[in-house]
Structure formats: C-alpha cells, structure tokens
A and B are shown apart, each in its own frame.
Chain A
Amino acid sequence: MLQRLRGPNLSFILGSLAFFVVVQILISTGLLNPYWQNILFWGAAMTMVSLGLNLIYGFNGQFSLGQFGFYAIGAYASADITYRWVRNDPSALVVVIFGSILALIFMLGISAFLRRFYGVATLTKFLFNLLAAVLGFFLAVRFINPAIGQPLYQALNGFPQGISQQIVFFLALVGGATLAGIVSYLFGIPVLELGSDYLGIATLGFTIIVKVLLDNTDTLLPFPEMKGARGMVGIPKWTTWPWVFVCFMAVVLVMRNLLHSSTGRAILSVREDERAAELVGINTASTKILAFVVGSVFAGLAGGIRAHDMAFLHPTMFGFLPSFNPLIIIVFGGLGSMTGTIITGFFWIFLLEGLLRLYLPEGFETWRFVVYPLVLLGMMLLRPQGLMGRYEIAFLRRPLPSLRVVKETPPTPAVAPKAEEVAV
C-alpha cells in the first residue's frame, strides 16, 4: 500500500492535505473572512460542476449544456432535505434516500430484463426506466415515509446534536447527488443517441425546463417551502471547509481513477471516433450514459455544497446565462484537462465574484460583464486549445506504461519490418 504512494501521488496527497490545513487555520483564526471563504467554497462547487462537464464534453465528447440543470436538482433536493429536517420533518430525507434506492433497484431490474431482448427501442427503454423510477419514489412517499419517517427521526436525534446534523448533511449531499444521477440517467437514455449539436440543444432544453419548474415549485410542484420564483430561504448553513474539501477531493479522485482505467479509455475512444469505438467492441451507448451520469452526480454533489453555503437558493442562479459558466470554464481551462478545469474553475469565481466585484471602481460592478467576454475573446484568439490544452499535473496524468522487456527473441516474422522501412 505504502509503496504505491510514491512520487507524484505522495506529493499530491501531501500537498492537498497541507492546503487543507492552511485554509482551515486561516478560517479558524479569522484571517480568511466569510466573504473570501464564500468565494473559495463557491469556486470549489463550480469546479466540481465543471469537472463533471469536462468528463462529459472534454473526455467523452458529448456537447452538453444540461450541467446546471443537474446542479440545480442537487442543490434543491439536498436543501429540501435539510430544510425540512431542521423543522422536524424527516419526510424529504426518507423519500429522497429510500426512493432513490428503490428506483435504482427497479431500474437495474428493468435493465437486466430488457437486456434479454434484441433491438429494444430507445423510447421503450426510456419509458420502462421512467416507470421504474416513478414507482420507486411513489412507494417511498406512500409507504416507506409513513412507516419509518418518525422512528428514523427519533433514532437520528438520539445522537448528540452535532453528530446527527453531520449525518443528515451527509445524507442530504448523497441524496441530492443520487437524484441528479437518476434524472440524468433517465434523460440520457433518449438524448445521448443524438449527435453532438442536437444533444447540445436537447440538454439546453433540459436546463430551461428545470429552471421553469423551479420558478413554479410552489404552484406546479408540491413544494411550497421552495417558494418558487421568490427563492428558497431558511436552508441551514452547514457547509464547512472539511465538507467542501472532502467532496472536492472525492470528485477529483473518482474522476481520475475512472479516467485511468479501461472504462476511461473507452470513454476517450468515444470522443475520438464513436463509430470506430463501436467497431472494436465498445458499447458506446452505455459508455456515454456512464460518463453523463457520473458528470451529473458531480454537479448534484456540488449543488448540495453550494446550497448549504449560500443558505439561499433562487431559480435565477440556475438560469440560462449562468448555465454557460461551466462550459466557459472547461473551454478556458482546456477540454480534456482536469488540471485546467481545476485552475480555471477557482480562478473564474475568484475573478468574477472576488476581484472584479471588489476592485472595480464604485459604480462599475456591471463592467465585469464587459471584462469577462473580453477575456474570453482574447483567450479564444490567442490560445484556442485552452489555458492548459490537454496538459495534466503528474498525479492526474494517465500513466504511460514502460516498454516491455523482451525475454526471448520475439516471434517477429520477416514481414514485420522496422518502423523506418514502412515510413512513407
């Protein structure tokens, strides 16, 4: 175990731990005031959303504008869980967690069942999965919540208050992320069949649908506590630096380990040439859905972090214009570079919400929306491949296996000439 922690891996882990400790000290001593703390947390959340989008677009090649929709779902779902919890109502927690579990079980069952047939139409697949998910959540609302809601509430409150709060917050984050994942799976089945541009339009439509639904949470949807277009207030402010750090590192590590595996190579191959990938035996449809779901789960998790940092949610936060931020960040940082996304994600929030807001002269705050398109324009003209291109720091770089040591003379035939001879 320890032997594997050498070189770049060790220095990355030590470096990030040191960063964690330094920031924690700064926060504890009050040197990092709440304003900049907020910028840091926001930057982390935005980076997580963008990493998810980079997985979908930069690594898998599927142009999606739906990332903010999943961010919103994660934010509102987790916020609703904790909002109700602190008001002595465990129903949201029970429904989201157990509903998700049931929905996942049913969808797995349906998928296993449908796999026995050849040539199942996409729409059939979508409808069956939708039914499975709806059934899962319906059962949770109708039967599980009345049965175990109160006992669960009593049991969790049996812990000291600080601990039960952390448990609920953890479950809220997981619940928000899982819900985003389930929705993205359902949405991904039909739309990922589309070619890249069409997928972009369809996912943009998704973001708009989510925004409109959020505007009407108290009228169209049965969630009066979300208060529709007036914005959801009264969310407990539970996001702390350790939570941000742990979630952020989890996203980075999961994404890295995924990309450096055989599945990761399959994801890359779909970006390179989908037809060729299919014709070397890669199931491109499921590979695309996998990347899409994982990317959306990252967004959902980030939504939970952001909601409990702001303690306030408003549908305009997830509207049309802000939904382009992750896209800008990943293109700016370099499509297919995690390093680039991480740097740009923090930098973007730091620039827009920190520097420009504070240091532009009085009355010029709105000028940041002039400055940032100019930055973008300059970037695209001068360095279209993005800040980092496809560069990765050592820890995030895909390992290049060393050349094989040949023990015996390889059975190379006379027909396999040296590389130079074949060169045209």
Chain B
Amino acid sequence: MRGRPENLSPEVEARPVVLEIEGLTHYFDSLRAVSNFSVTIKEGELVGLIGPNGAGKTTVFNLITGVYRPTAGSIRYDGAQLVGLPSHEIIQMGIARTFQNIRLFANLTVLDNVLIAYHPHSGYGLADSIFRSRRFREREKVMIERSQEFLEIFGLADRQNDIAGSLPYGLQRRLEIARALATQPRLLLLDEPAAGMNPQEIDQLMELIQFIRERFQLTIFLVEHRMRLVMNICEWITVMDFGEIIARGKPEEVRGDPKVIEAYLGRQAIR
C-alpha cells in the first residue's frame, strides 16, 4: 500500500484505514511547501512526521485540518474527503489537533477552555440559554462534569478556575491536549508537543501520550523535532525535507538512513 512502510506486521495492516493522504501538494504563491505527500494511517497507530525546520510538517497538519486548501491531492478520513470542508466540520468529524506554539484561550479559565471544545455537543439551543430552560441546566451540568473529568485525568482539576494564560508552560501544553480530546476525536494530531520541554518533561509527555492513546483509543499522528520523543514512541516515521518525503520506516531504520542524516546534519556528516 502507498504511504506506508512495507515491513509492518500483518496484524496492523489488517486494521481499517483512518487517514489516507494522497498526492498532497500545496503552494504558497510560487513556493512549494508540500509536494506529493502521501501517508496512510491505520486505526490505533502512532505515526511520526519529522524533518528539519521549514520542511512543511506543520503545513501538512494545516492542510488536514482545513486551515489551508491544498493545491492538489486528496485527504480522506474514514473514507470521507476532507478537502474543501471548513475546519470546524473537520474537527467535528473526529480529528483534533494541538498547536506548535500553544494557542489556548488565554484570558478564559482552564475549565472554560475545555468547555468550549464541548460546544458542538452542548445539545441545547439559543432559546434554551436565553430562557434558562430545564434542558439548559441539565446539559450544562453534564458538560461541566465531563470537562472536570478531563481536567482530573490531566492533573488540572484543582486549577479549573485559574486563568489559562497564568498556568506554567508544561500545564498549558497539558491543557491544550485536554482541550483537543474534549472534542471527542478518533484521530489526534500533535504538532510538536515537546517544543520547549526539557528531557525530563519529555519523558512525562511520552507517558502521557501513551496513556491517552490507550484510554481514548486514539490514532495519533505527531509532528516532532525532538528525536528522543519520536524514536521512542512512534511505530513508524515519515521524514520530510523541502516539502518532499525522503524516507519512511520504523524508527531504527530511519535513524540510519543516509538521506535523513543528510537532511538533518548536512552532506558533510555522511562522509
């Protein structure tokens, strides 16, 4: 199959496809940011996308989530074409993402941040909220309880009424993941979750990712810079440079690939 390494176990290959990207190409004016990018992710996999700065990794995420519309190519999630859909519909279909530079609703409380992600599932309308109907009160209670459960899982329960922007960096990352999961996704896109973290924090993050993956039965696609994280948790990796795929395979294979070493360290390093 295209967009996957060939030596994965038959057990994994038998699972249904969650995300299938084919021939994805995107130009910013005349600058080719992504060129003929393909990847196929099956249910429950944890796939990494790595590459040097400016390789087009985040652009791929932005294309998946509808921030940009690709110049060419197709993105299928669960068989449904995503190209051309507005972002919020893509998110509501079950894809959630985090951002490289944390984008919380900084002036709102921690709990509000999670509650906002619940809005599409709020289950009551404008009239309910203006007239404070019974449905409003019941649904609101349920939403708050669910969100609090999320905060508990992420160790943020006691900070629920703090302003999100006042949290320390590590907790903001955590909150962003919690908010993404509150949209009830099946596929989680993590954009450089380890950015700005020290090795000890990265270890914690790896455990957290493994944990949410089990707990919420997620398929995870992550963009990362830090080899420590990628090499340890990803089942297989796609490597990009200058918008093109230069290697694909299991972590240990990719690590030794001369093209990858060249992309990261320059041609000199190979000799």
Q: A280-B116, A280-B183 are in contact. Are A424 and B169 (CB under 8 A)?
A: yes
Q: Is the CB of A276 within 8 A of B87?
A: no
| Interface stretch (choices B26-34, B45-53, B70-78, B148-156) | B148-156
Alpha-carbon separation in the docked complex, A275 to B191 (Å):
15
Alpha-carbon separation in the docked complex, A136 to B154 (Å):
53
A412 to chain B, nearest CB (A): 7
Q: Is the CB of B140 within 8 A of A281?
A: no
B128 to chain A, nearest CB (A): 8
Number of interface residues of A (CB under 8 A): 47
B144 to chain A, nearest CB (A): 5
In the complex, whether A197 has a CB less than 8 A from a CB of chain B is no
In the complex, whether B136 has a CB less than 8 A from a CB of chain A is yes
Number of interface residues of B (CB under 8 A): 69
Q: Is the CB of A415 within 8 A of B207?
A: yes
Alpha-carbon separation in the docked complex, A412 to B155 (Å):
8
- The 0/1 profile, CB within 8 Å of A marked 1, for residues 135-179 of chain B is 010001001110011001111111111000000111100100001
Q: Is the CB of B119 within 8 A of A284?
A: no
- The 0/1 profile, CB within 8 Å of B marked 1, for residues 385-424 of chain A is 0000010000000001101101000111111111100111
Q: Is the CB of B105 within 8 A of A281?
A: no
| Interface stretch (choices A83-91, A264-272, A337-345) | A264-272
In the complex, whether B252 has a CB less than 8 A from a CB of chain A is no
In the complex, whether A258 has a CB less than 8 A from a CB of chain B is yes
Q: Is the interface of B mostly helix, strand, loop or mixed?
A: helix
* B159: A residues at CB distance < 8 A: 419
Alpha-carbon separation in the docked complex, A419 to B175 (Å):
12
Alpha-carbon separation in the docked complex, A383 to B128 (Å):
38
Q: Is the CB of B168 within 8 A of A422?
A: yes
Q: Is the interface of A mostly helix, strand, loop or mixed?
A: loop
Q: A261-B136, A266-B119 are in contact. Are A280 and B91 (CB under 8 A)?
A: yes
Q: A282-B119, A401-B160, A404-B157 are in contact. Are A263 and B126 (CB under 8 A)?
A: yes
Q: A406-B152, A417-B155 are in contact. Are A278 and B115 (CB under 8 A)?
A: no
Q: Is the CB of B204 within 8 A of A265?
A: no
B122 to chain A, nearest CB (A): 4
Alpha-carbon separation in the docked complex, A282 to B89 (Å):
9
Alpha-carbon separation in the docked complex, A284 to B160 (Å):
25
B67, B129, B170, B183: the one contacting A261 at CB < 8 Å is B129
Q: A263-B119, A422-B171 are in contact. Are A404 and B152 (CB under 8 A)?
A: yes
A404 to chain B, nearest CB (A): 4
* A257: B residues at CB distance < 8 A: 129-132
Q: Is the CB of A277 within 8 A of B153?
A: no
In the complex, whether A119 has a CB less than 8 A from a CB of chain B is yes
* A417: B residues at CB distance < 8 A: 155, 204
Chain B residue with minimal CB distance to A411?
Answer: B153
- The 0/1 profile, CB within 8 Å of A marked 1, for residues 91-110 of chain B is 11000110100011111110
Q: Is the CB of B118 within 8 A of A262?
A: yes
B155 to chain A, nearest CB (A): 4
Alpha-carbon separation in the docked complex, A424 to B202 (Å):
12
Q: Which of A261, A273, A410 has the most CB of B within 10 A?
A: A261
Q: Is the CB of B108 within 8 A of A268?
A: yes
* B154: A residues at CB distance < 8 A: 416
* B87: A residues at CB distance < 8 A: 278-279
A269, A411, A414, A415: the one contacting B105 at CB < 8 Å is A269
The 10 closest A-B pairs by CB, nearest first: A261-B129, A415-B207, A422-B170, A272-B105, A281-B91, A416-B155, A262-B122, A276-B103, A404-B148, A423-B168
A residues lining the B interface (CB < 8 Å): 118-119, 254, 257-258, 260-266, 268-269, 272-273, 275-285, 290, 390, 400-401, 403-404, 406, 410-419, 422-424
Q: A280-B179, A415-B211, A423-B170 are in contact. List 10 more A-B contacts (CB 8 A).
A: A254-B130, A257-B129, A260-B129, A263-B122, A268-B105, A275-B103, A283-B88, A404-B148, A416-B208, A419-B171
Q: Can you name 7 A-B residue pairings with CB atoms under 8 Å?
A: A265-B112, A272-B105, A272-B106, A281-B183, A282-B88, A290-B126, A422-B171
